């Protein structure tokens, strides 16, 4: 939660406040980018672009929206654009990237599936479905906050989230049955 | 209630979106439907897995990595906001720059900063405001010029002669600045311009001096060429520059304190700066 006072100072032209604000949100911005784009490299690119955009557009933020949804709107827009552009040439490189990031990322969690299994399943979702799942689970957003971030109607958000979860459930179930999982 | 409807309740349950009545309906159904019970378990497990996805962090500070870019943005902004912070009215236009044998006469004096030898200007500090014309013949016959006319429009002005109320007799030999070099070639005009002008939009832009007594603008004459012009608050033309073709950049600034206009013309690698001091013209009025 970014302090409203810090936002106001940043908007008033206090550069130190604006930099401090960017430092507070950089992890959140990166996390969204990482789970939508599926690899560290693209996530860093997108997060840099998002923070630069926030730096230059801080004036355009209006308090009627939540700051966190304004930030997530910027980063998800950039990610969805990137996602569309990179789509034709995903496969091999991205696959390698998974193993590379795996060691940093995976945690010991008692869970039915590994984080890697789940992320691979998320990567099979359409961009908007990914974005909804990421905002719901990595940013802990409500339906309303997701709707505000993505500029989608509330019912569309629910429908995307429900379909995405059903699809993930199916993918993971197939995966489990296929016995690939160690 | 069919199973499809129940699955929606399951999803909303995961998001804590059910009221107690809906929650009860879900549990009743799940207890009597083994397929839905299994699905409910799988979805809860999935949701739990999603909640526990690692909260990844960037490998290095993203803010640190973009600092050079942010500094660059700040610099650009500073440059862009210069006109707003300074009292100078600044105009950048792309206007070209071939002098058609015309005469640029200044009101008081002209400082020239020309690169190379393309530009040769006399320099003088006449006592009185003096007129400009767009023809060398007119300029060299200053004393016979017509009396001051009222300015009533950029283009129209170019067809008239504007004179201060006092004679400028005897000043022409030293009082105007005559172009004496070769005109820059058309080939040179295509490179190195700062800003390209949208000729369609130029006519209605004017640049008033800080004290509001004068207005400078770049006007297009009947030959399709451009001239820097200054009119006073009664619409009298007090200065008209030499003609310029498209493809140069003209940068116009009013001085804050003095009734003085500085304009710089860039074309290719050439540039020339002119200072038009209107103090004497003001004293005459």
Q: Is B11 on the interface with A (CB under 8 A)?
A: yes
CB A51 to CB B61 under 8 A?
no
Q: Is B14 on the interface with A (CB under 8 A)?
A: yes
CB B59 to CB A104 under 8 A?
yes
pLDDT tens by residue, chain A, 182 residues = 789 999 999 999 999 999 999 999 999 999 999 999 999 999 999 999 999 999 999 999 998 889 999 999 999 999 999 887 765 544 444 444 444 344 433 333 344 578 889 999 999 999 999 999 999 999 999 999 999 999 999 999 999 999 999 999 999 988 777 755 44
C-alpha distances (whole Å) from B49 to each of A34, A177, B230, B237 are: 17, 18, 74, 79
Q: How confident is the model at residue B209 (pLDDT cuts 50, 70, 90)?
A: confident
Q: Is B84 on the interface with A (CB under 8 A)?
A: no
Pair B79, A46: CB distance under 8 Å:
no
Which is it for strands B249-254 and B260-267: parallel, antiparallel or unpaired? antiparallel
Residue A88, pLDDT score:
53
CA of B8: which chain A residue's CA is closest? A162
Pair B30, B41: CB distance under 8 Å:
no
Instruction: Please identify which residue in the block is written with the tokens 């939540």.
Output: A66
- The interface predicted TM-score (ipTM) is 0.84
pTM of the complete model: 0.54
Q: Is B64 on the interface with A (CB under 8 A)?
A: no
Q: How confident is the model at residue B212 (pLDDT cuts 50, 70, 90)?
A: confident
Give the CA angle between residues B21, B26, B28 to the nearest 5°.
Answer: 95
**pLDDT, mean of residues B186-201:** 31
CA of A22: which chain B residue's CA is closest? B63
Pair B63, A122: CB distance under 8 Å:
no
Residue B89 is classified by DSSP as -
Question: What are the tens digits of pLDDT across the range B32-53?
Answer: 999 999 999 999 999 999 999 9
Sign of dihedral through CA atoms B100, B103, B107, B111? positive
Q: How confident is the model at residue B257 (pLDDT cuts 50, 70, 90)?
A: confident
For chain B, the 3-state helix, strand and coil shares in percent, each to the nearest 5, are 35, 20, 45
Q: Is B80 on the interface with A (CB under 8 A)?
A: no
Q: Is A119 on the interface with B (CB under 8 A)?
A: yes
Pair B268, B185: CB distance under 8 Å:
no
Quick one: tokens of A54? 């926030």
CB B56 to CB A105 under 8 A?
yes
Q: 3-class SS at B87?
A: coil
Pair B252, B265: CB distance under 8 Å:
no
Q: Is A137 on the interface with B (CB under 8 A)?
A: yes
Q: Is A98 on the interface with B (CB under 8 A)?
A: no
Q: What does the alpha-carbon distance between residue A128 and residue A122 come to, in Å, rounded to a whole number?
A: 11
Q: How many CB pairs under 8 A join A and B?
A: 103
Q: Distance from B85 to chain A by nearest Cα, in Å?
A: 15
Q: Which of B46, B62, B66 sits opposite A169 (nearest CB)?
A: B46
Give the CA angle between residues A34, A37, A41 to the nearest 5°.
Answer: 65
Residue B16, pLDDT score:
94
Q: What does the alpha-carbon distance between residue B99 and residue B112 come to, in Å, rounded to a whole number?
A: 15
CA of A137: which chain B residue's CA is closest? B51
- Neighboring chain A residues of B44 at a CB cutoff of 8 Å: none
Work out the burial of residue A53: count CB atoms within 10 Å of its CB; fewer than 13 is exposed, 13-18 middle, 19 or more buried. Answer: middle
Report the 3 state secondary structure along B103-122: EEECCCCCCCCCCCCCCCCC
**pLDDT, mean of residues B250-266:** 76
- Neighboring chain A residues of B59 at a CB cutoff of 8 Å: 40, 44, 104
Q: Distance from B48 to chain A by nearest Cα, in Å?
A: 8
């Amino acid at each position: 939660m970014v302090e409203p006072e810090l936002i106001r100072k940043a908007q008033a032209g206090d550069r130190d406040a604006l930099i401090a604000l960017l430092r507070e949100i950089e992890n959140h911005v990166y996390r969204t980018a990482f789970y939508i784009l599926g690899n560290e490299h693209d996530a860093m690119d997108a997060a840099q672009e998002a923070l630069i955009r926030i730096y230059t557009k801080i004036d355009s933020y209006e308090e009627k929206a939540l700051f966190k949804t304004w930030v997530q709107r910027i980063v998800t827009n950039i990610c969805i654009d990137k996602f569309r552009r990179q789509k034709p040439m995903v496969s091999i490189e991205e696959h390698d990237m998974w193993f590379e990031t795996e060691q940093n990322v995976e945690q010991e969690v008692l869970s039915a599936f590994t984080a890697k299994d789940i992320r691979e399943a998320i990567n099979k979702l359409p961009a908007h479905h990914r974005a909804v799942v990421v905002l719901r689970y990595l940013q802990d957003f409500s339906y309303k906050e997701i709707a505000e971030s993505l500029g989608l109607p509330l019912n569309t958000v629910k429908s995307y989230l429900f379909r995405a979860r059903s699809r993930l459930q199916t993918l993971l179930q197939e995966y489990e049955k296929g016995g690939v999982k160690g | 209630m069919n199973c499809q409807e129940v699955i929606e309740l399951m999803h909303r349950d995961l998001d804590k979106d059910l009221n107690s009545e809906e929650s009860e309906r879900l549990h009743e159904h799940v207890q009597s439907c083994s397929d839905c019970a299994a699905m409910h378990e799988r979805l809860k497990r999935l949701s739990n897995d999603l909640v526990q996805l690692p909260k990844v962090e960037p490998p290095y500070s993203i803010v640190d990595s973009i600092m050079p870019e942010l500094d660059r943005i700040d610099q650009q902004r500073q440059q862009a906001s210069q006109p707003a912070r300074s009292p100078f009215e600044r105009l950048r236009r792309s206007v070209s720059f071939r002098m058609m044998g015309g005469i640029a006469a200044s009101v008081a004096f002209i400082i020239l900063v020309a690169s190379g030898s393309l530009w040769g200007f006399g320099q003088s500090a006449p006592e009185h405001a003096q007129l400009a014309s767009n023809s060398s013949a007119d300029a060299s016959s200053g004393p016979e010029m017509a009396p001051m006319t009222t300015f009533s429009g950029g283009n129209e002005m170019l067809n008239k002669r504007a004179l201060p109320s006092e004679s400028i007799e005897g000043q022409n030999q030293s009082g105007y600045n005559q172009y004496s070099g070769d005109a820059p070639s058309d080939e040179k005009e295509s490179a190195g311009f700062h800003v390209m002008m949208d000729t369609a939009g130029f006519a209605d832009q004017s640049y008033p001096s800080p004290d509001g007594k004068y207005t400078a603008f770049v006007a297009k004459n009947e030959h399709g060429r451009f001239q820097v012009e200054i009119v006073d608050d009664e619409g009298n033309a007090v200065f008209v520059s030499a003609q310029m073709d498209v493809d140069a950049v003209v940068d116009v600034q009013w001085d804050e304190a003095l009734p003085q206009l500085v304009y710089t013309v860039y074309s290719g690698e050439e540039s020339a700066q002119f200072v038009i001091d209107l103090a004497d013209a003001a004293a005459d009025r």
